[in-house]
Chains A and B, each alone.
Chain A
């Protein structure tokens, strides 16, 4: 459950000049694995996430989710957007239960779970607030809760903490570590932040731009459960040095 397979996937955006956003990407993410896609902006890492989410179609190659071809978006792949993308006219509570509600799930089946999740992300006191009344970090926590309430097989996160200030980002990373530790959902996490990638993931796929390719894969074997305290461990510094050297090399090309 939650297995992701890219087989030689390419994505070309047609236009006056065709853009090859993904070029022959192969990647397998196993059940319960946390994989980060790391790269500069424009390297196609968001495109990779979007085709997996079903928002865009692949041009070449095969893309499978749990051994079925991905054709359209669905609640089995919960997406967390960079700017949260909450419905501004709905309250926090209504945003969180949007998924089960439009799927026609009876209220009794989602209500207690939604309450639990709201508590888990620390927003039970804000159930009746509108998104605009929340801070960026709080909004993102709603974005995570509304996806988790659907019990997705995989979480696709597109630079979810990229727009947050440094301190909020740390607490969000901790929250995500805790949530993932207890749920064990497959996660594909797009980021341009090296620290974030090392701290969170089991495996980091470093991507290069134009055409978008995975140039290197690094396994992060730091012990679990992790916390933001891991950010200062010698192990962590070692991984960081390795990746930074790697990115330098890629940039020279």
Chain B
């Protein structure tokens, strides 16, 4: 069924792919961008209108690193609740990691995830396949079969690939499909079972630390392997100053490496763990103020191409335990936009850079539609009110889980409308008024 025409009017389009940062109305027809023009110049008889006055009109945000937990862990999140959280957070697309149960290491699991996503029919859901069977780090999964079923990348996220030779083969082999290997960088031996960053705070709290070197040595290895093989490696959730520096230097040499920053890693330090706050427990862990500054600098200069949430829902029972026993990870889809917007003032990062990191670059890295609001492009649009103030109430989030360290935070900026393929999948009540002329 064809969607009705839609006029997103009165907003400021920030579309770095087309070098646009200006007041523009956007007309959507048949699921595509039909026109982008000066305010008030589009004649759109019969079009439904979205009032975007005071808002940013962005190419649909793409979160290339989420855990939707289905199949297998539906008590934490489902494709449906995850997609609802994504839409509410301003994301038009997400890419879900393979650490489900069963693991997404076969075409059958890939197909079932994508089928389920089609039934849910909210935001675009892309599947990331496992690099290795069962994420066990021993044998390559059938990456080609999964690619035919629709995967856009491979990753053993949650598990590092400790076998360097296997990582080398994965990088070589995936080059045939033009998809990246997304690397969770952690030398398990060096991490040594740590539960937070190793440093002054872990020492004080008596918690086992994992040193930053556990991450950086693996980043160094995988950069060397990418350089050797020409395969594309995408470094997930970069947390340490050394990793940012390695990626920056590698890019300068032309190594096919991209990097990713998670909002918590550019917002919080290990100080958030104080008081044994299990909602500040994640892997890689929150690190120091210097690391936060380095991650921000990485986003600023493009060393870290992407902002992705690593949305990792866990049930209350898995977090409301002693710190050592708590599972790693936090939810992030509904808090990413305001946390990213903070970087404009706090880290001198232009909005266009944020849009690249949250839309244009992930689209490019995964080879998926979107990332731009040009005529003819797929009509995935995020309308964000950058001044809207709200308080994070974990109980009111759409995600099935509540594990956020940002509960109670005063946020500025929120998605007010999320448009996928010309269809409004999220609209903030009371703010936006649906109005049909004709």
Q: Do A and B bind each other?
A: no
**Interface residues, chain A, CB within 8 Å of chain B?**
none
**Interface residues, chain B, CB within 8 Å of chain A?**
none
